[in-house]
Amino acid sequence: MCGIVGYIGKRDVAPLLLEGLQRLEYRGYDSAGVAVCGKSGLKTVKAKGRVRELDAKLPKRFAGSVGIAHTRWATHGAPNDVNAHPHLDSEGKVAVVHNGIIDNASELRAKLTADGVEFASETDSEVLAHLVGRSEAETLEEKVRHALRSIEGTYGIAVLHADFPDRIVVARNGSPVVLGIGEKEMFVSSDVAALVSHTRQVVTLDDGEMATIKADDYRTYTTEGSRTSASPTTVEWEAESYDMGGHDTYMHKEISEQADAVDRVLRGRIDDRFSTVRLGGLNLDAREARAVRRVKILGCGTSYHAGLIGAGLIESLARVPADSEPASEFRYRNPVVDPDTLYIAVSQSGETYDVLAAVQELKRKGARVLGVVNVVGSAIARETDGGVYVHAGPEVCVVSTKCFTNTVVAFALLALHLGRTRDLSVADGKRIIEGLRRLPAQISEILEREDEIERLAHEYADARSMMFIGRVRGYPVALEASLKLKEISYIHAEAYPASELKHGPLALIEPAMPTVAVVPDDDLLEKNRAALEEIKARSGRILAVAHREQEKADHTIVVPRNEVELDPILMGIPLQLLAYHTALALGRDIDKPRNLAKSVTVE
C-alpha cells in the first residue's frame, strides 16, 4: 500500500527520493509525488501512474537537500495528480505525506471549509497539511502535535515546512515509520526496503511516537512531547535481497529461494539431545506451555492458510485443539477470549491492519498472544508477547510464496516444541526433526521439475475456472493453491474439501472446469481416489499432486514423501509454480497483480 520516503543531508534529494519510491513500488500504488525544500521554498511534483512517470515530469531545476515523497494507494478520491501526495497547506509552505486513514476527515474538512480553507484534493490527508499550516505554535514539532490532536484514525506521516528547512517531522499511529541513520544524513520511510541501500541502522517508531530528523541528529518523543529513547538496531536483510537476482520476476526468485529459506528458519533451532527445538523468542516456559488448553491462530489470506496447516500440526504433534480463523473477521464477532487459550497472530509483513487490530483486541482482554512474523521489529512482532520469526528474508512480490512455506515450517517447529513439552515421544520428535532436515533437498528436487510444471500450466491455462480439492491436511494446500492461481492469473478458482464435492460443487464439474487434487499417500488415499473417480465419471480433467502416479488423473505431479505431518509443505510448492506459469502464459503482471497491495495497512 502507500509508501513514504524522506531525506535530509547534503546530497541532491530528488534522485534519492525517486530511488526510494522505486524500492517501494512492490507494495502497490496508483500515483506518486515528491516535495523538495530548496532556496526558493517548497516545490512539489505529482503524477498519476508509475514512479517513472513522476520522474519524467520533474523539472530540470528541482534542487534541494531535504524532501519527502510518497506512493499512493487510493482510498479517498480517485487516483490522479491532484489527489497524489504530498499535500500542501493554503500558503504552500507545508507539505505532508500520509499513510493510513483519517476517520474524522469529513468533519475536519467541513470545519476548515467553513473557516475559508479551499481544498485542492478529495483526500482525507489534505486536512493534515491545513491543520499544520494553520497552527500558531512556534515550532514545527508543536504545529504537527497540534494537528494530530484533532485527528482520529491511523497515520504514518512526514511533514516538511518551508520555514523549518533543517528538519523533517514524522509521526506514527498504526502505520509504520522507520528512521534510517546515516553519516551526516538521515532517511525516513514506511518500509526498510527503501533504506537498506543507504544504511542498515534503523529506528522503528512505536505507535504514539514522533521524531524530528535533522542531517546530523534525530530525536524521538511521544505525541505528548516527552522524550523516548529509541536506539538504532541493525537490519539483517542485505540491499541485494531486494534485487531480482537474474530472475524475470520477484515471484520466480522467491519461489526459487525456498530451499535456502527453509534452511534458515531451521538453523540453530534444533536440539537433537532432547529431540525438540529451541525457540528463543517464545517467552513461554514449559509450565506455561503445558497449561495451554487450546490454540487459536489468526491471520489473513495466505497467512491464514499457513495458520490452517499450523493448526493441524499443533493438533497432531501436541494434541492440543487448534484452529485458524481469518483475523479480519475475528474481532467483529465479539469473540470469547479464554485465558487458557494461546493466541497466535501470523503475518508476513507484521503490519497487516486486520491482524494488528485482532492482536490489540486480544491484549485488551488480557490474552496471551504470540506472533509468527517475518519482518523483525514490525508492529505485530512488537505488540505480541513473544513468538517465532519466520526468517524468509524480504518478500517483494505482492503474492506470498516463500513466506508461506517458511511460516508453515515455523509452525512445525512450534508444534514440535509444544508436543515435546507434552506427550510427543522422543522417537516421534526425532522423526519430525529428520523430516524437517530433509525439506530443503526435497524442495530443490521439486524445483528442478519446473519445465514439466510449465508444460502442464500451458495445458490448463485455457480454463475459465478451476477446482482445487484436498482432504484434512491437503485441504489448506488446496485453498492456498487456489488463492495463488486466482491472484496472479485471474482465472476463477475455488477450493473445497474433497469430501464436500458430492454435497454440491460436483455440479460444476465438466471438461471446461479442471480439478487440481492434492493426493498424498496417507490414510485418506483411498477416499481421495474415490473423489477422483467421481470427477472422472463427470468427464472432468484432473491434475493430481501426489506421491505416485494417480491412475484416474490426466496428469500427476509426483512430489517426494516426507513425514505425513510435513507433507503439506512440499505439496504446495509445485502448485506455486503452476500458478506462476499459468499467469506467465496469460501475460499477466505477476509481481503486481491488479487491485492488490503487498501490505494491507488499512482496514
Catalytic residue ranges: 2, 598
Stretch of 7-15, 99-107, 346-354, 386-394 contacting ligand F6R, by CB under 6 A: 346-354
Stretch of 308-316, 347-355, 359-367, 459-467 contacting ligand F6R, by CB under 6 A: 347-355
Stretch of 58-66, 82-90, 348-356, 435-443 contacting ligand F6R, by CB under 6 A: 348-356
* By the rule CB under 6 A, 421 interacts with ligand F6R: no
Q: What distances in angstroms separate CA 242 from CA 24, 253, 254, 474, 582, one per listed residue?
A: 10, 10, 10, 32, 25
Question: Rounded to the nearest whole angstrom, what is the least distance from the CB of residue 348 to ligand F6R in the complex?
Answer: 3
Name the residue nearer to ligand F6R (CB basis): 83 or 347.
347
Name the residue nearer to ligand F6R (CB basis): 479 or 531.
479
For cell 506512493, name the residue. 71
Return the residue of 162, 213, 379, 399 that touches ligand F6R, per CB under 6 A.
Answer: 399
Span 24-83, contacts to ligand F6R by CB under 6 A: none
* By the rule CB under 6 A, 175 interacts with ligand F6R: no
Span 570-599, contacts to ligand F6R by CB under 6 A: 599
Would you give the binding string for ligand F6R spanning residues 351-390, x where CB under 6 A is met? -x--x-----------------------------------
Q: Report the alpha-carbon distance of residue 171 to residue 162 in Å, rounded.
A: 19
Name the residue nearer to ligand F6R (CB basis): 141 or 480.
480
Question: Rounded to the nearest whole angstrom, what is the least distance from the CB of residue 115 to ligand F6R in the complex?
Answer: 40
User: How many beta carbons lie within 10 A of that of residue 454, not counting itself?
Assistant: 16
What the block records as the C-alpha cell of 318 is 501436541
Return the residue of 99, 189, 348, 562 that touches ligand F6R, per CB under 6 A.
Answer: 348
Question: Rounded to the nearest whole angstrom, what is the least distance from the CB of residue 490 to ligand F6R in the complex?
Answer: 14
> Which of 65, 38, 356 has the alpha carbon at shortest distance from 207?
356
Strand partners, 478: none
Name the residue nearer to ligand F6R (CB basis): 69 or 359.
359
Question: Rounded to the nearest whole angstrom, what is the least distance from the CB of residue 351 to ligand F6R in the complex?
Answer: 7
What the block records as the C-alpha cell of 332 is 467483529
For cell 491462530, name the residue. 297
State the virtual CA torsion across 106, 380, 484, 25 in degrees, nearest 10. Answer: 60
For cell 501436541, name the residue. 318
Q: Which residue type sits at 19?
A: E
Q: Is 472 left (phi over 0), alpha (psi -120 to 50) or beta?
A: left
Q: What distances in angstroms separate CA 191 from CA 85, 136, 377, 510, 591, one per listed residue?
A: 17, 32, 11, 46, 18
Would you give the binding string for ligand F6R spanning residues 284-323, x where CB under 6 A is met? ----------------xxxx--------------------
Span 484-503, contacts to ligand F6R by CB under 6 A: 487
Name the residue nearer to ligand F6R (CB basis): 140 or 346.
346
Question: Rounded to the nearest whole angstrom, what is the least distance from the CB of residue 368 to ligand F6R in the complex?
Answer: 20
Map 54-110 to HEC letters: HHHHCCCCCCCCEEEEEEECCCCCCCCCCCCCCEECCCCCEEEEEECCECCHHHHHH
Q: Report the alpha-carbon distance of residue 359 to residue 366 in Å, rounded.
A: 11
> Cβ(557)–Cβ(449) under 8 Å?
yes
Name the residue with the smallest CB distance to ligand F6R: 301
* By the rule CB under 6 A, 400 interacts with ligand F6R: yes
Name the residue nearer to ligand F6R (CB basis): 112 or 358.
358
For cell 464439474, name the residue. 509
Name the residue nearer to ligand F6R (CB basis): 383 or 487.
487
Question: Rounded to the nearest whole angstrom, what is the least distance from the CB of residue 398 to ligand F6R in the complex?
Answer: 7
- Which helix (H) or strand (E) segment holds residue 414: the answer is helix 402-421
What the block records as the C-alpha cell of 117 is 480553507
* By the rule CB under 6 A, 347 interacts with ligand F6R: yes
> Cβ(155)–Cβ(173) under 8 Å?
yes
Number of residues that bind ligand F6R (CB under 6 A): 14
Question: Rounded to the nearest whole angstrom, what is the least distance from the CB of residue 422 to ligand F6R in the complex?
Answer: 28
Stretch of 96-104, 261-269, 349-357, 448-456 contacting ligand F6R, by CB under 6 A: 349-357
Question: Rounded to the nearest whole angstrom, what is the least distance from the CB of residue 260 to ligand F6R in the complex?
Answer: 20
> Cβ(434)–Cβ(562) under 8 Å?
no
The site for ligand F6R (CB under 6 A) is made up of: 300-303, 347-349, 352, 355, 399-400, 487, 599-600
